Structure 1
Amino acid sequence: MSSAPPPFASPDETEALFYECLQRGDIETLMSLWSDDDEIVCVHPGGRRLVGLAQIRTAFELMFANGCLNIRPDHVRRVQTLTTAVHSVLETVGLGSGDKPRVGYVLATNVYVKTPQGWRMVCHHATPGTMGETQDTAQGPTTLH
């Protein structure tokens, strides 16, 4: 079992290591990035809501059983307060190998909280995306009623 990562000064550092762990298949370091709160949540594309470290760990172990995940974060949008950060991420997913590798896209929301151990993940919610999401669209301010 590897040791816990050092306290991260920013949610960006935690997120960078999260995606590195997916690419390496490093379950121990990946799980150490999560908060130890009982109510942490993970939803994989097309999957059910997983609550707590044990359920989340089992899901990632099953995914890593098929090899590492070729996922990189792109087009990250950030909202941050002193203790919470929400990142909206377009994930680019490499699918297949050989002569005709393909690319897929996933939209993910990653939520981080600042703890005494540094910034830790409390939510990863991912849903299938499309190539159209590679182009950011922004509109002017709106008012919700």
Structure 2
Amino acid sequence: MPRFARLFEAAADTLHAFYRAVSEANLDGLMELWIDEEAVTYICPDGAHLHGLDQIRSGLAKQFEFPRTQIEPLDVRVYDSLGTIVYAVAEAHRALDELDVPEMVFSTYVMVHERGEWRIAHIHSSTMPPKAADQFATRLRRDAGPLH
């Protein structure tokens, strides 16, 4: 059983690498996390539908023209099977150069095990409805330490 435990932990490493690449505006690093298929899709928080690696690359490049964003996972749910993992995550998206209220987003990440590594096959993000956003924002403020 420990072998499988490590297998699924590696998928979390891919999710953390995604967050890190977004915060660093590292387009090449971000694109390395996707499976090597044209069937990949990314639905952005603003509703844009990106299909295929080329559209995803150009869409992310446009996003990186704006202030860099840090994504903070607030609540993570994991659904796994031998070859697929789905993360359902409530996230706070913050522009790194601003102290404004973060945008609250629900994201679903679908990852598949490909050639010994976990890769992203699909991301669906959407802005939270106001009531849910308020609940998570309250939780975010409550969990902030004395230095925040």
Normalised by the length of structure 1, the TM-score is 0.80
| Deviations, residues 19-43 of structure 1 (Å, cap 9, x unaligned) | 0111111100000000011100100
| 1:132 equivalent among 117, 131, 135 | 135
The aligned amino acid for 2:88 is S
Residues 69 and 96, structure 2, Cα contact 8 Å, conserved in 1: no
Kindly report the root-mean-square deviation, in angstroms, between the aligned alpha carbons of the 2 structures: 2.2
| Deviations, residues 89-138 of structure 1 (Å, cap 9, x unaligned) | 0111124855x5222200000000001040000011000011325699xx
Residue 60 (structure 1) shift: 0.5
Query: What is the DSSP-based 3-state SS (H/G/I as helix, E as strand, rest coil) of the residue aligned with 1:58?
Result: helix
In structure 2, the CA distance between the partners of 1:117 and 1:27, relative to structure 1 (3 Å rule), is farther
In structure 2, the CA distance between the partners of 1:122 and 1:134, relative to structure 1 (3 Å rule), is farther
Q: Confirm whether residue 33 of structure 1 aligns to residue 33 of structure 2.
A: yes
Taking the aligned partners of 1:102 and 1:96, their CA distance within structure 2 comes to 12
Residues 95 and 102, structure 1, Cα contact 8 Å, conserved in 2: no
Taking the aligned partners of 1:131 and 1:57, their CA distance within structure 2 comes to 32
Query: What is the DSSP-based 3-state SS (H/G/I as helix, E as strand, rest coil) of the residue aligned with 1:47?
Result: coil
Indicate the residue corresponding to 1:52 in structure 2: 52
| Deviations, residues 51-94 of structure 1 (Å, cap 9, x unaligned) | 11000011110011113212222211000001000000011112
Which has more helix, going by share of residues?
Answer: 2
Query: What is the DSSP-based 3-state SS (H/G/I as helix, E as strand, rest coil) of the residue aligned with 2:102?
Result: strand
Normalised by the length of structure 2, the TM-score is 0.78
Q: Confirm whether residue 86 of structure 1 aligns to residue 108 of structure 2.
A: no
In structure 2, the CA distance between the partners of 1:65 and 1:95, relative to structure 1 (3 Å rule), is closer
Worse overlay, 88-97 or 56-65: 88-97
Indicate the residue corresponding to 2:110 in structure 1: 111
Indicate the residue corresponding to 2:4 in structure 1: none
* Sequence identity percentage: 27
Return structure 1 stretches of 4+ with deviation > 6 angstroms: none
Residues 19 and 73, structure 1, Cα contact 8 Å, conserved in 2: no
Count of paired positions = 128
Residue 18 (structure 1) shift: 0.2
Residues 73 and 91, structure 1, Cα contact 8 Å, conserved in 2: yes
What residue ranges of structure 1 are gaps of 5+ in the alignment?
1-7, 137-145
